[in-house]
Structure 1
């Protein structure tokens, strides 16, 4: 969806705000198969930075076709980190994603990297418009967070702005596309913070299906975004309530890994000189229950 073919997104089902209690309520009362509570910083054994295992180049530090206006930056790549951990009372810790307008030094390093890597004309044009530095993390094939069937949930806090485009999503272990599972993409629609949830499939006739729902409390505070699937059924959740239930396409019958990122522009509005700096996404935890 979002990341790779934003322009084709056509969420099939109508806006929903279903109030029923979730069938995963019992699952989340059991210990997760894997989790990251972000209490000791970012665990390099669980997460990669950038779109690895693709080459660690500028072209794989953002998605050109979406109109994004950020480059995903981290210390090992450019010596400037945009993802930190901050202590938070009563939760043990969070991952704090920051999108910042590039300073002159970062901008210079980005342009130098692009020249050294001899990027294509299309990439050079996109890099020339990308004037924000932001953060993303992703699991990888073989990591403990990779799983097929079950339930995954993250507790996220977004500071809603029309220019930012946070996402929590899954890609297959094989790195083929589609399928893609967008557990949530956050955006402002008609002044309302919305959660957009989508499955993208290559199964004939399936396409992109999903739903959207207003984020409670006008987007303020932490909210839980979840996704459950098995061989036949896929269900999206917001704060423990079902937002939509869909048939699971056949290409979801494989292992997936999670990705979290904070994009600028793209599906959001183009940032301007008046856009608040920094933009923020906080992650309290990511938890996986495998095989249910």
Structure 2
């Protein structure tokens, strides 16, 4: 049996050798990605190292019953749209088409049939509703002009210019027939009951642009009022057969789209993205015009 001093020296040499081996392995493995060993009881292909995105059987987690329930709970809107896709894929191949000699089928016209009959029997009511609608259009126009001239916020005006230009192009490209039950009035806008494009509704799109601008600057109550009047306007246009339902729906989308495009245009010109005020050069031009006037 070696003396205690010799045994201690041998233990120190063995410890140093073990430490040197560990350091060597660390240096050799430096910079390499080390994956943890699988737990006991798991086998290859059990989904280890998949970041939790796949189940133990190799399927994506959302394909399991629990995963599908979680997706439905967290993302109900895409699920509803997916169901709508499946529904209308079936409708597309089974719905009968309207014959070429028949009038267009419009569910909005069917829903407002009683209102249409009541307005048709009272010409004075038709003129009154047309006049009120024209006043609402004037309110939209006045607000948009006020925003650019008095408050120097051109976004709504630019969106309106884009919207009406696109509406004119689409109206020239595809002209839908005027509904046979159309109730015109000399008080309607355009004033004098002149001809106008049906697709899409500039009445609705203009109100959407104005309301979006109001929300942007915190005029929430005024925006809610315009939304309510826009809804009433849409019902009146359907009852008087001044627009098809699709004209109104696309009018809402057009208002939102061109408001967004106008905002992107102003952002590209380094205009303040908060309230979208005029750029410095525009303000100088407006200021010089005020001085000269």
* TM-score (normalizing by structure 1): 0.22
Structure with greater strand share of residues: 1
* TM-score (normalizing by structure 2): 0.22
Structure with greater helix share of residues: 2
- Which protein, 1 or 2, shows the higher relative CO under an 8 Å CA cutoff with sep ≥ 6? 1
